[in-house]
Chain A
Amino acid sequence: MAMSRDEVYEKVQVVLEDALGVDPDEVTPEATIGPDLGAESIDFLDIAFRLEKEFEIKIEQEQMMPMNLLNDPKYVQDGRVTDAGMAELKSRMPHADLGEFEESRLVEDFPKVFTVDAVVKFVQSRLARA
């Protein structure tokens, strides 16, 4: 039987608590993995590894959070994401809410896109494919 959103959310919560050493009440759907929960780049890899193990799915860290895109001059100029960059982000991150980010487009604001809710949606999309 397919996992419900609540079941996925609970497991994601445990993964984030273990990987980041945060309390359960800090892990809310709107909490950002980086700015709010304190994740650094190695933590994103740790989270990807743990999600793979927990849900028995294959995850490429870049698919969940396409950081390499921000190093591409086609998509980022003068510290802001270009139109081509926004289009690319939207196509690669259907699991994320890019509305607020689109207003600033500043590279330094990108980490705020990656919320607990985005992780849950990403896992759900991978489970649906499996």
Chain B
Amino acid sequence: MRWVWIDRITEFVSGERCVAIKCVSAAEDVLHDHFPAEGGREAEPMFPHSLLIEGMAQTAGVLVGHRGRFEHNVVLAKIGRADFVRVVGPGEVVRFTATLDRYDDAGAATSGVLEVLDPVGGEARALGRVDLMFGHLDAARAGDLDLPERPFVFTGALMDLLDRSGVPRP
């Protein structure tokens, strides 16, 4: 299973904003257990908010990484805010809009808005707000940590997503 919780980047303004969408599918493993039928209660597939936070972390992380030309290991270091006003289920689409608020050598701060889009029609509905902080985890800052020599964050599936979405490399 690939750990990529966004499906497509639909808008990208380098150093400013990244917008991505994720289609919630009944076929996703995570929905089979969250939440399963229990006792007298019917099954209720609800996409975990923790993975929505991860989706925002990936949307914002790509924005931060791209700003640094993918030369740093950008790691999620702090969730400043994570508020949700509704739940999301199969057949709905989540739109993540991440804005880069602050960036320097040590790390970055982003703010983010999540919305639910209904493919059948109607306006986007507010889903939540997630504000994050990222650190640049490089050898100089690693201290006692044993880090791999090569960059390990922006590899494989995440970079494929960038390419498939047509986001130009820095």
Indicate whether B86 reaches chain A with its CB closer than 8 angstroms.
no
Residues in A neighbouring B102, C-beta threshold 8 A: 49, 52-53
The 9 A-B residue pairs with the shortest CB-CB distance in the complex, in nearest-first order: A42-B77, A49-B102, A42-B78, A49-B109, A45-B107, A45-B106, A46-B133, A42-B135, A42-B133
Instruction: List 15 A–B pairs whose Cβ atoms lie within 8 Å, in order of A's numbering.
Output: A19-B80, A41-B135, A42-B77, A42-B107, A43-B78, A45-B106, A45-B107, A45-B133, A46-B80, A46-B133, A49-B101, A49-B102, A49-B109, A52-B102, A61-B106
The DSSP consensus for interface residues of chain A is: helix
Residues in B neighbouring A43, C-beta threshold 8 A: 78
- Looking at the assembled complex, report how far the CB atom of B77 sits from the nearest CB atom of chain A, in whole angstroms: 4
Residues 73-115 of B contacting A (Cβ, < 8 Å)? 77-78, 80, 101-102, 106-107, 109
Residues in B neighbouring A19, C-beta threshold 8 A: 80
Once bound together, how far apart are the Cα atoms of A35 and B112, in whole Å?
A: 30
- Looking at the assembled complex, report how far the CB atom of B102 sits from the nearest CB atom of chain A, in whole angstroms: 5
Residues in A neighbouring B106, C-beta threshold 8 A: 45, 61
Binding site for B on A (CB under 8 A): 19, 41-43, 45-46, 49, 52-53, 61
CB-CB nearest in chain B for A61:
B106
Binding site for A on B (CB under 8 A): 77-78, 80, 101-102, 106-107, 109, 133, 135
The DSSP consensus for interface residues of chain B is: strand
CB-CB nearest in chain A for B76:
A42
- Looking at the assembled complex, report how far the CB atom of B137 sits from the nearest CB atom of chain A, in whole angstroms: 11
Residues in A neighbouring B78, C-beta threshold 8 A: 42-43, 46
- Looking at the assembled complex, report how far the CB atom of B64 sits from the nearest CB atom of chain A, in whole angstroms: 13
Residues in B neighbouring A46, C-beta threshold 8 A: 78, 80, 109, 133
Once bound together, how far apart are the Cα atoms of A29 and B109, in whole Å?
A: 27
Residues in A neighbouring B101, C-beta threshold 8 A: 49
CB-CB nearest in chain A for B135:
A42
Residues in B neighbouring A49, C-beta threshold 8 A: 101-102, 109
CB-CB nearest in chain A for B77:
A42
Once bound together, how far apart are the Cα atoms of A10 and B80, in whole Å?
A: 21
Residues in A neighbouring B77, C-beta threshold 8 A: 42
CB-CB nearest in chain A for B103:
A49
Once bound together, how far apart are the Cα atoms of A52 and B77, in whole Å?
A: 20
CB-CB nearest in chain A for B101:
A49
Once bound together, how far apart are the Cα atoms of A43 and B106, in whole Å?
A: 12
- Looking at the assembled complex, report how far the CB atom of B81 sits from the nearest CB atom of chain A, in whole angstroms: 9
- Looking at the assembled complex, report how far the CB atom of B26 sits from the nearest CB atom of chain A, in whole angstroms: 37
- Between A41, A42, A43, the greatest number of chain B beta carbons within 10 A of the residue's beta carbon is seen for A42
- Looking at the assembled complex, report how far the CB atom of A102 sits from the nearest CB atom of chain B, in whole angstroms: 25
Once bound together, how far apart are the Cα atoms of A52 and B106, in whole Å?
A: 15
User: Knowing that A45-B106, A49-B101 are A-B contacts, what are 8 other residue pairs whose CB atoms are under 8 Å apart, sorted by A's residue number?
Assistant: A19-B80, A42-B78, A42-B133, A42-B135, A45-B135, A46-B78, A46-B133, A49-B102
